[in-house]
Every structure is written in structure tokens, then in C-alpha cells.
Amino acid sequence: MDSTQVEINNQTPQTHEKQSKGLWFEALKQLFKNKAAMVGLGIIGLLILTAILAPLLAPYDPLETKILYRLKAPSAQHLLGTDDLGRDIFSRIIYGSRISLQVGLISVGIALVFGVSAGVIAGYYGGKIDMLIMRLMDIMLAFPSILLAIAIMAILGPQLSNAMLAIGIVNLPRFARIVRSSVLTVKEEEYIEAAKSLGASDLRIMLGHLLPNCLAPLIVQSTLSIAGAILEAASLSFLGLGAQPPIPEWGAMLSAGRASLQIAPWVVAFPGLAIAITVLGFNLFGDGLRDALDPKMKDK
């Protein structure tokens, strides 16, 4: 056995995994030192708790209409007032947190599964496969995301489940490009050569060695994409293409409250504030993750 082979064998996948665990621990410590990221994590945690405990926290049924109480200003009886059908806005915002989380997680999950698969295949095999996949991604990125989502919704029809699918498709190219870029770098490492020399299959190398080393940028992009997905879903619902009445989705609440904006501004103010705070929370946490997982930021 020559010296080159000995050197490759010394850099085994197991050795690299041990080094990676140490890096993840350091990144976690760095994350907890970031005050803005902790604020974002607190907002996300509060949103999750609100979604889980919605039946206990909401004082009223979010779908119950009381015409006699329509457009009531915020009071002790209705903390955030009522809408044009007399429904309690506070209760609807609480239940709307469930829909926003569902939209964010499912949409990003769709983008992750298909985007990561496309990126790994393109980066690992290269050649014509790479060119075909990435040119398709480039075509999708050439369209503004909201316009592409509207076009997809025009084909699928206005429905919340279709909105989640459309948002997932729109975000797919970002994940594909990130993973492809990481795979092109990682596949040249010595531990990948060691895995090949030990007879590992392409699928095992992609799933066991390439993907784990793409996790850092994927985690950051996923967190930021959840914020974008919630905002895009609210935009589609505002245009009447997402959640349909009487579903208590924040964007749909904004759309329904437009007619009452001048006489009852709270009808749109509080759902809009809920969207803004939620998106801010995910963005703050995503920025903190980026800073913690980026080696270039460690010295700053």
C-alpha cells in the first residue's frame, strides 16, 4: 500500500463525523450568545405554544358570528375587537397561528424534499444531468416568486392546500442551488474518496456523507424560508387565492377587513401585526443561525 492510500484511509468518514460534532457544539454555544436570535427563538416558541394551546387560550369560537357585536372596538369582553361578522379577532388570530405554522412547515418541507434531491443529484453526477436540472431551476428563478405562485394557483385553484404546494414549488430552486453548491465542494474531500474506496454506493455516499455536510446552509435557509412562506401564504390569501372564508388565516383576515379599514382599523391592524411579529421572529432566529454556522462570523 502506497503513502497516498494510507493518507486516504486515515481520513475516514468516521473521523470526519467526530470533527463535525465538535463544530456543531461550538455553533450551538455561539447561537445562545446571540441576543437577537434568542428573541427570535422566544417569538417562535410563543407561536408554537399558542398554536398547541389554541382551544384553551381562545375565549370564543373563531367561526362563531354575532351580528349584533359586529365591528366592536377592543374592550374587556373582546380584547382585540370584533370583525364585520361579530367574530372575536383575538380568538381568530390565536387559531390563525396554527394555519401559519402549518403553511410554513409544509411548504418548506415540500421545497426541501424536492429541492435537496435535485441539488444532490445535480452536484454529484454533474454533466448533462446537472445542466438540465439547474437550467430548469434558473427558469423558475427568472419569475418573481409571488407571480409564479399566482400562476400555479391559477392552474390548481384557490385553496389553502394548493397554496402550500405552490409556495413549496416556488422555493424549490433556492434549496437546489444551495445543496448543489455544497455538494460540489464536499464531494472532492478525501473522506468521500475513502468512502468510495471502501465500496460505498452512490446513494449511501449522497445520504450518509454529502447531505450531512450540507445541513448548516439548509437549516439556515429553511428557517428563513418559513418566514417567507408565511408571508407568501398571507399574500395569496389576501388576493383571494389562498385560505378561503371562514378559515381564520391572517392574510384572509386582512383581505376581509379592507372594507372596514376606515371605521374599524383594528380589524386589519392586529392580523397584520401578527404576521409582522411572526416573520420577524423567524428572520431573527435565521440570521442568528447563519452567524453561528458561518465560520467567517466566528471572529467577529
pLDDT at 8: 40
Over pLDDT 70: what percentage of the chain? 90
**Residue 270 is placed in which grid cell?**
392586529
Higher per-residue confidence, 80 vs 213: 80
CA-to-CA distance for 221 and 225, rounded, in angstroms? 6
Q: Distance between CA 169 and CA 286 in Å, rounded?
A: 21
CA distance 190 to 7: 9
**For the chain, which domains are there?**
46-58+78-294 (1.10.3720.10)
Statement: residue 72 has pLDDT above 50: yes
> What mean pLDDT comes out for the span 71-75?
94
Verdict on whether the full-model pTM lies above 0.75: yes
- Largest Cα span, the chain: 88
pLDDT score of 2 more than 60: no
Which band of pLDDT confidence, cut at 50, 70 and 90, is reported for residue 233? Answer: very high
With a cut of 90, say whether residue 213 has pLDDT above it.
Answer: no
Main-chain dihedrals φ then ψ at residue 157, nearest 5 degrees: 105, 150
Does residue 22 have a pLDDT over 80?
no
Residue 296 binned pLDDT confidence (cut-offs 50, 70, 90): low
Return mean pLDDT, the chain: 87
**For position 251, what pLDDT does the model report?**
93
Share above pLDDT 90 across residues of the chain, in percent, rounded to a whole number: 62
Please answer whether residues 59 and 65 qualify as being in contact, where contact means their C-beta atoms are separated by less than 8 angstroms. Answer: no
- What is the pLDDT, as a whole number, of residue 203? 82
Provide the pLDDT for residue 41: 94
Q: How confident is the model at residue 225 (pLDDT cuts 50, 70, 90)?
A: very high
pLDDT at 292: 84
pLDDT single digits (tens) 99-155? 999 999 999 999 999 999 999 999 988 889 999 999 999 999 999 888 999 999 999
